[in-house]
Structure 1
Amino acid sequence: MSTALLRQLPSIDKWLASESGAALCAEFSRPEVLAVMRAHLDRIRRDVANGETELPQLESREYSALLRADLIARRRESLQRTINATGIIVHTNLGRAPLAPEALAAVEHIARGYSNLEFDLETGKRGSRQEHVESLLTRLTGAEAAFVVNNCAAALMLVLHTFANGREVVISRGELIEIGGSFRMPDIIAESGAIMAEVGTTNKTSLADYESALTHETRLLLASHPSNYRIVGFTAKPTLAELASLARHRGLVFVQDLGSGSLIEVSAPGCAAEPTVADSVAQDVDLVTFSGDKLLGGPQAGIVVGRADLVETIKRRPMARALRIDKMSLAALEATLRLYTPPHDPMAKIPVLRMIGESKASVGARSKRVAEQLATHPAVHCEIADDTSFAGGGALPMSEIPTKVIRLTVENRSAAELARTLRAHVPAVIGRIANDALTLDLRTVAPDEADDLIAALTQAVS
């Protein structure tokens, strides 16, 4: 039976010459239609092999519409805007920090034409792209100098390669972090060309451990802030000031990888204290590396601040050019950093910080307005419930931010099916499933996304 059915399938050329095929080829390109039709025929053959006893009407208007939908989907941009309703603020898989309007405007302004990226308007000679943000970074952190590359792992690798290539880097075993995507500190150290020397134990490392590990091959002490985990209980480690003093007396470079890169003290219910970059600089850390797209709230960038002589050495390395920041990210970073300067209030102006600081009552009020519009559908049940938001992205790991969420269920629809439908919407809506309900946390949904969220949910539940 299956062989007889398969013989009824038209050849690709015959189908493309049909009225349906010709119409689609006129609207799209012939290679596109050919690829989609081949995929459909392959699926039909598999269905027949699995017991299907009837072929679809390939030349019908209904099947032509199905093919057209697939062709449109193929042309859709791969990188799309999504609405983050997970409650995870710095969501690495969803692009980390959303940019402030000022940063978006700066990117558009610079990207639409030429700029003085590496041109000194006063002298008419070549300039440095670093000059656009260096003074802002030194002012905000108290450091002597600053340098920016394309991400924090690149910043750390550049520092290690510059000062410890082929020589030893001493680091505590309790700070051998994994920074996500299976990128681990030992791998970054090895890739930089440095040789890692581990000291202490997972939970306790003393200053004497560092001292006893120093050899004539040691060039750098590395402290890594555990921004995505905490070790609590029977723990101990030297202060930054103690390590800085040791490095200074032994002629070593002391580097801290701060990761999340908080420029201000973040105060919000449920948030544990996070060290700021200025804290590290004030304790005489020679160089501090941190991210631009975590708690700082800007674009992807790796930032190095610290001693002017060391930063100048980094600038001259060939690897610095290979890892340099691009003009659009630089424009967004400059605009974001300016929001940290008076009279601006970064907790209000920068989306990541605003989300962290939004009150549970405010999130609940916004959730209630969305739930009320959905509740008009008879098959929909919405419950406003207490829950927890998270900073995410390797930031504020011990923080559980109290929030209000919408728990959404629809008759005869599983939570997984509902989530899948919302992911297929444009823009896609990403929530999380808990206790057989789709959970939506509006803390991570910007106020101007509310209409798009309601439209997506309304379509999904209808």
Structure 2
Amino acid sequence: MIERQHLLRKIPPVDQLLLRPAIVSCIDRTGREFVVSEIQRLLQGIRDAILSGEVSAGDLSPEKIEMSLLETVERRLRPKLRTLINATGVVLHTNLGRALLSEAAQKSLSAFSGNYTNLEYDIDSGGRSHRDKLLEPLLQEVLGCEAATVVNNNSAAVYLILNSLACGREVIVSRGELVEIGGSFRIPDIMSRSGAILREVGTTNKTRIQDYRDAIGPNTALLLRVHPSNFRMLGFVEKPGLRELVNLSREAGIPLVEDIGSGLLVDLKPYGIQDEPVAQESLAAGADLICFSGDKLLGGPQAGIIAGAGKLVGLIRRNPLMRTYRVEKLIYGALEATLASYRLGRAAEEIPVVRMIAMTAADLKKRAGAFARRLKSALPSDVRVSLAEGSSVVGGGSCPECRLPTTLIALEVAHTGPNAIESRLRLQDPAIIVRLEMDRCLIDLRTVFPEQEPFLISGIQKALAEPA
């Protein structure tokens, strides 16, 4: 007890610490109030540690406390959202933020974030306008639709469609399409919250057009078709095609809504993207409304796009909840810049998601070989750098069966397992996120920009130079 009291008296006072040059400099950068608060927090932690017998006299020097304080301040002020290097080859990595924006979209964010805009202002007339007017003409041109509106994500789009067009009435959907779209968000739950009444038809693996026809009644508001973006059913399966459902909806006078999910606007079949509906094709086939995400295969910011018949879009716009789900000026700006690339036929060159998917196996092999040679020359001899054939995936709940051929760079270190290598890389600044497969640490350059390669090499150097 006497020893603990002695240690408590050795704790330097706050005023003394505030006079130390490094702490004075820290105050200049961050403010006195914040630093004093952090010192008090740190000293209280030291007192608690002394009383529990966890601190020795050597830990109480002003120098050690100063070092601990500066490390704490740096850690506390570091932004929680940080950039990193995605070396996994997963193009739409949900945990890493999904779609990367084009240069034009990035410039729009920079321009609009620090300036007033005509978000709801008509420059020509000087009167109030509606934000939908900013993007609707471009969406009409790109999609070939009668009308369109934008909300903050595709789940919101589905919810608003159901709440606006089917509240208190039945919506017919195949049991095989009652999907969970990630994060435990399930179509039946969204439908229930919207006020629509779910009318399931068919079975999990087999639904025929007659099942829809038999379910139609006086309380039917919509036919809903949901694209199973994140899974595929194989084997003894059957479901009606879109045109069959269009014909039935016309025959019954009931609107057909298709949730196409990932927002594909160009045909990517030549690059291995199969079984993903193209927005324009769904509308051309006769779907009354479609909805899809902006930050998946479309390659834009997070948004939900609703497009189709003007009368139906008008009803959705007039829903009081529309204000809850509307997007702000930065999303409009980034989405407009993204869609402009599609209008000009430049998506493969300008949209990072499309460009990454379109990378050829030959180009990736050549690039991986050159990178591996540079990496090998920068690392010690006990690090083995090798190449292996493999595949990238689209990710983001899109095209689960698609495999994009690539060449992987494998890292192996004597007496160090792949999990330890992965951890060291992840803790670099910027963090390097790699793939672990078959007991190997793998790098896929499909999702690494060429200008990131020097940082990737230096980060690997630092990580592997750390003691085990």
TM-score by length of 2: 0.91
Per-residue CA shift, 1:400-451, capped at 9, x if unaligned? 1111111112334433233223222222111122233321111011122222
Asked if 1:125 is matched to 2:127, the reply is: yes
Given candidates 241, 249, 252, the residue that maps to 1:250 is: 252
How far is 1:320 from its partner? 1.0
Q: Does 1:449 align with 2:447?
A: no
> In the alignment, which of 364, 381, 385 is matched to residue 382 of structure 1?
385
RMSD: 2.4
Moved more, 168-177 or 33-42: 33-42
Q: Does 1:411 align with 2:414?
A: yes
- Pairing partner for 1:16 from 11, 14, 17: 14
One-letter amino acid matched to 2:282: S
2:23 and 2:137 mapped to 1: Cα distance?
57
Q: Which residue of 1 aligns with 2:423?
A: 420
The verdict on how the C-alpha distance between 1:63 and 1:134 changes in structure 2, with shifts beyond 3 A counting, is same
Shift in Å at residue 83 of structure 1? Answer: 1.1
More displaced stretch, 145-154 vs 38-47:
38-47
Contact 1:167 1:217 in 2 (8 A): yes
1:99 to 80, 98, 101: 101
Alignment partner, residue 162 of structure 1: 164
Residue by residue over 1:148-202, the C-alpha shift from the partner in whole angstroms, topping out at 9 and shown as x without a partner, is 0111100110000001112111110100111111111111111111111111011
Q: Which amino acid aligns with 2:262?
A: S
Unaligned runs of 5+ in 2: 28-34
Cα deviation for residue 102 of structure 1 reads 0.7
Aligned AA (1:319): L
Equivalent of residue 333 in structure 1, options 332, 335, 341? 335
Contact residue 274 and residue 402 of structure 2 kept, 8 A: yes
CA distance in 2: counterparts of 1:386 and 1:368, whole angstroms: 12
Give 1:432's aligned residue: 435
CA 418–142 in structure 1, closer or farther in 2 if over 3 Å, else same = same
- Paired with 1:250 and 1:6, the residues of 2 have a C-alpha distance of 84
User: What is the aligned counterpart of 2:143 among 122, 128, 141?
Assistant: 141
Q: For residues 190 and 374 of structure 1, what CA distance do their matches in structure 2 show?
A: 54
Number of residue pairs the alignment of both structures matches: 455
2:355 is equivalent to residue 349 of structure 1: no
* Map of 2:396 onto structure 1: 393
Contact 1:374-1:380 within 8 A present in 2 as well? no
- Structure 1 unpaired stretches of 5+: none
Change (3 A) 1:148 1:413: same
Residues 276, 406 of structure 1: alpha-carbon distance in 2 compared, 3 angstrom cutoff:
same
How many Å separate the matches in 2 of 1:63 and 1:421?
Answer: 27
- Which residue of structure 1 aligns with residue 299 of structure 2? 297
Deviation at 1:34, TM superposition (A): 3.0
Corresponding residue SS for 2:60 = coil
Query: Do 1:227 and 1:260's aligned partners in 2 also have CA atoms closer than 8 Å?
Result: yes
SS of the counterpart of 1:220? strand
Indicate the SS of the match to 1:387: strand
Q: Give, in whole Å, the separation in 1 of the partners of 2:254 and 2:9.
A: 73
SS of the aligned residue for 1:409 comes to strand
- Within 5 Å, give how 1:212-291 maps onto structure 2: 212-291=214-293
1:22–1:347 distance in 2 versus 1, CA, 3 Å: same
Specify whether residues 228 and 12 from structure 1 end up closer, same or farther in structure 2 by C-alpha distance, changes over 3 A only.
Answer: farther
Q: Could you tell me which residue of structure 1 aligns to residue 32 of structure 2? A: none
Give the superposition deviation at 1:325: 1.1
- 1:333: Cα distance to partner? 0.2
Letter in 1 for 2:106: L
Structure 1, residues 299-318: CA drift from partner, whole Å, max 9, x if none?
00100000011111111111
Q: Which segment is superposed worse, 134-143 or 174-183?
A: 134-143
Deviations 1:320-343 (A, max 9, x none): 11100110011000000000122x
- Partners of 1:12 and 1:328 lie apart in 2 by 54
* DSSP-derived class of the 2:299 partner: coil
Moved more, 134-143 or 223-232: 134-143
- What is aligned with 2:370? 369
Which AA in structure 2 matches 1:260?
Answer: S
Question: Percent identity over the alignment?
Answer: 40
One-letter code aligned to 2:38: E
Write the distance in 2 (CA, Å) between the matches of 1:5 and 1:164.
Answer: 74
The alpha carbon displacement at 1:107 in A equals 1.3
| Deviation (angstroms), 1:364 | 2.6
Matches of 2:44 and 2:140 in 1, distance apart? 59
Deviation at 1:43, TM superposition (A): 6.8
Comparing 357-366 with 167-176, greater Cα deviation is found at: 357-366
Equivalent residues in 2 for 1:32-43 (5 A)? Answer: 32-38=38-44
Q: Indicate conservation of the 8 Å contact 1:88/1:392, yes or no.
A: yes
CA distance in structure 2 between the aligned counterparts of 1:448 and 1:301, rounded to whole angstroms:
28
How far apart, CA to CA, are the structure 2 residues paired with 1:415 and 1:42? 39
Report SS of the residue matched to 1:198: strand
In structure 2, the partner of 1:402 is 405
